[in-house]
Amino acid sequence: MVAPTSPAPRAERVSAEPRIVAITDEREPLADAGLALIEEMFAPQDRQALSELRSELAERRLGLFANYNFHMLAAVYDGDDDPAGVITGVYLGGVNAGFVTYLAVRRRYRGRRIARLLRPGLIDAFRSDARAAGHPDLAWILGEVRARSPWLRRLVRTRGAIPFDID
């Protein structure tokens, strides 16, 4: 006889993939939740002040930069107010490059390939920026990643990525 088990925690019952949502307004509750996730996952010395990130969203919403676009995307499960993950990045028109600034996945959602959903969404946004700037495609994608990251190793091996050692 098998002992009855208690229901799995809410996050464990979720089986569908989350939606990827662009956060375009710093005044949205989802922007607050995404910024709080970045604050939770990155030590103060490893991140910008949240007020600066909020300003990046406001500047984008107001159209203040023509050759520089800030993006923030969240992975959201239906019925959950907090994002499972968030990614931010900046398109730098002067060099036709996208720079991934933050990628954070809430601990209870790790192992669900959330980052694999968020990264392509951000890259698509960078590619749209590149085409809008008159380029046929995005020239570069940059980002800070742990040297021992399996993802970085795979990119180097399969796509010819070039790792830089930047302090």
Q: What pLDDT does 3 receive?
A: 35
Q: Do 128 and 84 contact (CB within 8 A), yes or no?
A: no
| Phi-psi domain of 160 (left: phi exceeds 0; alpha: psi -120 through 50; beta: other) | left
Helix residue ranges, H only, 47-113: 50-61
Unique residue bearing structure tokens 């159209």: 63
- Which tens digit of pLDDT belongs to each residue from 125-160? 999 999 999 999 999 888 777 777 777 777 778 877
59-106 pLDDT per residue, tens: 888 877 667 899 999 999 988 878 999 999 999 998 999 999 999 999
Tens-digit pLDDT profile for residues 24-63? 999 999 999 999 999 999 989 888 899 999 998 998 888 7
